[in-house]
Amino acid sequence: MTYSIEKVTTLIGARRFGESDANIGFILTDSRSLCFPEETLFFALKSERNDGHNYIQELYRRGVKNFVVADVPANYDTLYKDANFLKVINVLEALQRLAERHRDEFNIPIVGITGSNGKTMVKEWLNQLLGDDLFVTRSPRSYNSQIGVPLSVWLMNEHTQVGVFEAGISKPGEMLALRDIIQPTIAVLTNLGEAHQENFSTKDEKCNEKLVLFHDAQTVVYNEDDDIVSKAVSELDDFKGEKLCWSLKDKHAPMYVKKIDKQENTTTVTYIYNGEENSYSLPFIDDASITNSIICAAVALKIGLVADRLDKGMQKLEPIAMRLEVKEGQHGCTLINDSYNSDINSLDIALDFMNRRPDHEGRIHTLILSDIYQSGMAAKELYSEVSELCNKRGVVKFIGIGPELSANADVVTVGEKNFFPTVDEFVASEVFKSLHDEVILVKGARQFGFDQITELLVQKVHETTLEVNLNAVVNNLNWYRSFMKPETKLVCMIKADAYGAGSVEIAKTLQDHRVDYLAVAVADEGVTLRKNGITSNIMIMNPEMTAFKTIFDYDLEPEVYSFRLLDALVKAAEKEGITGFPVHIKLDTGMHRLGFNPDTDMEELIKRLKHQNAIIPRSVFSHFVGSDCDDFDKFSAQQFELFERGSRKLQSAFDHKILRHIDNSAGIEHFPERQMDMCRLGLGLYGINSRNNEIINNVSTLKTTILQLRNVPAGESVGYSRKTILDKDSIIAAIPIGYADGLDRHLSNRNGYCLVNGKKADYVGNICMDVAMIDVTGIDCKEGDSVEIFGDNLPVTVLSDIIGTIPYEVLTGISNRVKRVYFQD
């Protein structure tokens, strides 16, 4: 489905500059995701920190000819030949308007889903339930924001028979726009979470905001048993639609859930809908899944699925893996594992993700793809589209698995291609054995058993892994940015291997989010980043005298804290014939660690800097000793004053702007008025708020598994030196993690605990080098079960408090042999 540029102009009420004909099939809001330039319409969105208008030139060079802008570039007709500029007052509103008008073209059931949890699962399950009979267009992944929703709705085309879209809000006032775009015929509220998580003062306020989605819907689906929700729905003015609420208590509810019967691995739900009693079974027993299934059942029945087919569909429901995982594979390969439902939109997002991770080694990009189910398209058409997408997104090697792909091998035109009917045949083949030095996207429908491929390709891992959530890193970044003025620059501290999280992947994520500087401790860390394709500015906090040549060769910007270092650096730079090399001057304002004295050293420093032209001060900074604690506020004020004085002296001696910075993570939050030109974000990026020891968004989770379980009678001891004597008959589990992995021995002998299936399990006996023992008496668990050492459910600060240290030490102490696994939703 395409729109002529004239039509688009009218639909969004723009003024058009330029006269070339064009047909628009694709919408772009992020220049890095460009794929089909000729048919793309770019929306130059402005955010606090970025402006889409800055990317027009680059996009034009790459073939984009159509732009929605607030400001038309000067001399557009000579600079941008054949281009069209559609001028509007508000670019985001224009994007939303276009999606809204596109939505108007469809007279089909459209499901809009909001709620605090479960939106994505309900959306995906509805697709699984309805997809065999109907062509469903749905939001890819969790595209549910002010930008994500219009992009999702835009995906509907002439095949679409049902639309299923998520609407997510983070602050009051946002739902109205989303409702106008989605215009749901069926509106769903999954549930209401805790109020404090979002920018709402009360749960009622949040509920009312979410219910804005309900206003003009023909049918609304919600939980009658939730009093806040029920009351709010009953108070909706002028709502004329059908209230399809579900209840476990009210026999007269339109969807009455009469019985929930949990068996070992399945649950049977008996319900009365339209006066008819039926039941279905689903392959899950957890409460969230059961609730989501009830919501899906109500919607699917409403859309017309019959009870019998509903039951069949429910039995086949699959868990939703939202995660895109990055793992180091064997033979120099990196694996991107995406077990999210296979469809063309999520394939596009995963390919885009692969391309946006810089890779300096120039390794080829390989795709391993299974047959795509439930696409609603004819196979030839579908796989030609897949092939075109692969070519556009730089896939060099294509491996198709499944009978359908094999049968349509001819429409795939990727340079190197291979097809196999099953995973087993692929794994046995030469093609599998010869994979090396590639970035491989593994994307397959669950039925094909793609897990086997990743397991075989990933390096044998120690069962202990540190899972790093890249979304959480971005959310933390944005949380701190919210305290900063848009123009304030940001250094992200990724020293000590990104506080243990792994500097390369963290740096890739930060570079993609346009942070101004990355900072590492030593030159070698900087070299590693450069070798992995990081082009951002990189600061070296502790430049070694022996590493100057490396620093110059790799464009790393050293910190300079003493006259000795300054002179040596200048001498080395002069020897290389270098001029104007940027450095960062550190002042000591009270830490008494490294740095020039702002009162006594400045004149000499200025003199020496002026007497050479090999290096040039790019910034000047100092470091708070206690911004995390109010007790030191007076001292911090003193430090700031001293820094102001010293840094002003330095600046006044030079004509060029020297960036001044002093705020670290805690400082950004506590002294936003001291943000100056730049801030340095460290621990906060990794989700820990050092001011209150709370977790902002958890980034790292250290996990292991139960190796062995044994019964040990009362009176026996556990571990070296018999430090724990059991006072009752116990079940003891051995886990493959020890102090050599960074598990502190001070946790031994019931001083600390980990989590086994959500329950606390004490460490018993002394923690050994590679193994620890835990007491799982009374905990439902078996060998092979997962154990959380710290992370999503057990804050790392609990451990650091027990040990009597700071979370920094625990995080950076996780040894290198613990495999890092990265994922993003």
Residue 336 forms beta bridges with which residues? 326, 441
Q: Which stretch binds ligand PLP (CB under 6 A): 240-248, 456-464, 606-614, 677-685?
A: 677-685
User: Cβ 661 to ligand PLP, closest distance in Å?
Assistant: 8
**CB burial class (10 A; 0-12, 13-18, 19+) of residue 602?**
buried
Residue 786 C-beta-side C-alpha neighbours within 13 Å: 12
CB closer to ligand PLP out of 117 and 812: 812
CB closer to ligand PLP out of 84 and 636: 636
Which 308-367 residues touch ligand PLP, going by CB under 6 A?
Answer: none
Helix, strand, or coil (residue 461): coil
- Enter the tokens of residue 692: 């209150």
Q: Which stretch binds ligand PLP (CB under 6 A): 47-55, 141-149, 201-209, 663-671?
A: 663-671
Sign of CA dihedral 595, 596, 598, 602: negative
CB closer to ligand PLP out of 663 and 744: 663
Q: Which stretch binds ligand PLP (CB under 6 A): 96-104, 471-479, 681-689, 709-717?
A: 681-689
Q: How far is CA 596 from the centre of its chain?
A: 40
User: Cβ 520 to ligand PLP, closest distance in Å?
Assistant: 10
Helix (H) or strand (E) holding 495: helix 495-499
Q: What are phi and psi of 524, to 5 degrees?
A: -60, -35
CB closer to ligand PLP out of 659 and 683: 683
Q: Which stretch binds ligand PLP (CB under 6 A): 241-249, 254-262, 683-691, 756-764?
A: 683-691
CB closer to ligand PLP out of 617 and 765: 617
- The DSSP 8-state label assigned to residue 72 in this structure reads P
**Is residue 539 part of an annotated ligand binding site?**
no
User: Cβ 35 to ligand PLP, closest distance in Å?
Assistant: 38
User: Cβ 620 to ligand PLP, closest distance in Å?
Assistant: 12
Active site residue 517: no
User: Cβ 640 to ligand PLP, closest distance in Å?
Assistant: 14
Among 683, 699, 768, 776, binds ligand PLP (CB under 6 A): 683
**Rg of the chain's alpha carbons, rounded to an integer?**
29
Which 475-494 residues touch ligand PLP, going by CB under 6 A?
Answer: 493
Active site residue 753: no
CA distance to 334, 370, 459, 528, 801, per residue, from 364 (Å): 11, 20, 19, 20, 46
User: Cβ 643 to ligand PLP, closest distance in Å?
Assistant: 12
CB closer to ligand PLP out of 294 and 551: 551
User: Cβ 621 to ligand PLP, closest distance in Å?
Assistant: 7
Among 123, 141, 660, 680, binds ligand PLP (CB under 6 A): 680
User: Of 553, 561, 558, whose CA–CA distance to 578 is shortest?
Assistant: 553
CA distance to 362, 386, 397, 434, per residue, from 438 (Å): 9, 20, 9, 10
Q: How far is CA 261 from the centre of its chain?
A: 36
682 is an interface residue for ligand PLP by CB under 6 A: yes
User: Of 733, 291, 682, whose CA–CA distance to 506 is shortest?
Assistant: 682
Name residue, tokens 């992944």.
141
Cα torsion for 634, 637, 641, 642, to the nearest 10°? 60
Q: Which stretch binds ligand PLP (CB under 6 A): 232-240, 382-390, 400-408, 664-672?
A: 664-672
Which 545-584 residues touch ligand PLP, going by CB under 6 A?
Answer: none
Residue 66 forms beta bridges with which residues? 41, 84
Determine contact, residues 184/112, Cβ cutoff 8 Å: yes
Residues contacting residue 655 through CB under 8 Å, at least 6 positions apart = none
CA distance to 494, 523, 525, 580, per residue, from 518 (Å): 7, 12, 11, 20
Q: Rounded to whole angstroms, how far apart are CA atoms 808 and 641?
A: 28
267 is an interface residue for ligand PLP by CB under 6 A: no
Q: At what angle do helices 119-130 and 307-315 cross, to 10 degrees?
A: 120
Q: Rounded to whole angstroms, how far apart are CA atoms 735 and 774?
A: 8
CB closer to ligand PLP out of 307 and 685: 685
541 is an interface residue for ligand PLP by CB under 6 A: yes
Q: Which stretch binds ligand PLP (CB under 6 A): 12-20, 99-107, 248-256, 676-684?
A: 676-684
Determine contact, residues 522/554, Cβ cutoff 8 Å: no
User: Cβ 480 to ligand PLP, closest distance in Å?
Assistant: 9
Q: Rounded to whole angstroms, how far apart are CA atoms 55 and 528?
A: 29
Determine which one of 119, 495, 508, 586 is catalytic. Answer: 495
Q: Rounded to whole angstroms, how far apart are CA atoms 412 and 386?
A: 8
Determine contact, residues 696/507, Cβ cutoff 8 Å: no
Determine contact, residues 667/627, Cβ cutoff 8 Å: yes
Residues contacting residue 117 through CB under 8 Å, at least 6 positions apart = 190, 191, 193, 288
Which 168-207 residues touch ligand PLP, going by CB under 6 A?
Answer: none
Among 128, 374, 647, 664, binds ligand PLP (CB under 6 A): 664
**Is residue 356 part of an annotated ligand binding site?**
no
Residues contacting residue 17 through CB under 8 Å, at least 6 positions apart = 72, 76, 77, 84, 85, 86, 87
Q: How far is CA 521 from the centre of its chain?
A: 26
CB closer to ligand PLP out of 495 and 819: 495
User: Of 509, 575, 521, whose CA–CA distance to 825 is shortest?
Assistant: 509
Q: Which stretch binds ligand PLP (CB under 6 A): 82-90, 170-178, 661-669, 782-790?
A: 661-669
Determine contact, residues 687/795, Cβ cutoff 8 Å: no
Which 491-520 residues touch ligand PLP, going by CB under 6 A?
Answer: 493
Among 665, 675, 701, 766, binds ligand PLP (CB under 6 A): 665
Determine contact, residues 167/175, Cβ cutoff 8 Å: yes
Q: Which stretch binds ligand PLP (CB under 6 A): 185-193, 460-468, 637-645, 682-690?
A: 682-690
CB closer to ligand PLP out of 417 and 584: 584
819 is an interface residue for ligand PLP by CB under 6 A: no
CB closer to ligand PLP out of 464 and 503: 503
Determine which one of 571, 720, 728, 782 is catalytic. Answer: 720
CB closer to ligand PLP out of 734 and 806: 806
Tell me the per-residue interface mask from 619 to 638 with ligand PLP, x by CB under 6 A, - otherwise: ----x---------------
473 is an interface residue for ligand PLP by CB under 6 A: no
User: Cβ 43 to ligand PLP, closest distance in Å?
Assistant: 35
Instruction: Give the binding-site size for ligand PLP (rule: CB under 6 A).
Output: 12
CB-based closest residue to ligand PLP? 682
User: Cβ 492 to ligand PLP, closest distance in Å?
Assistant: 9
User: Cβ 610 to ligand PLP, closest distance in Å?
Assistant: 25
Determine contact, residues 246/237, Cβ cutoff 8 Å: no
Interacting residues with ligand PLP (CB under 6 A): 493, 541, 623, 664-666, 680-684, 690
- Binding positions are 593, 769
Residues with catalytic roles? 495, 720
- Binding positions for substrate are 593, 769
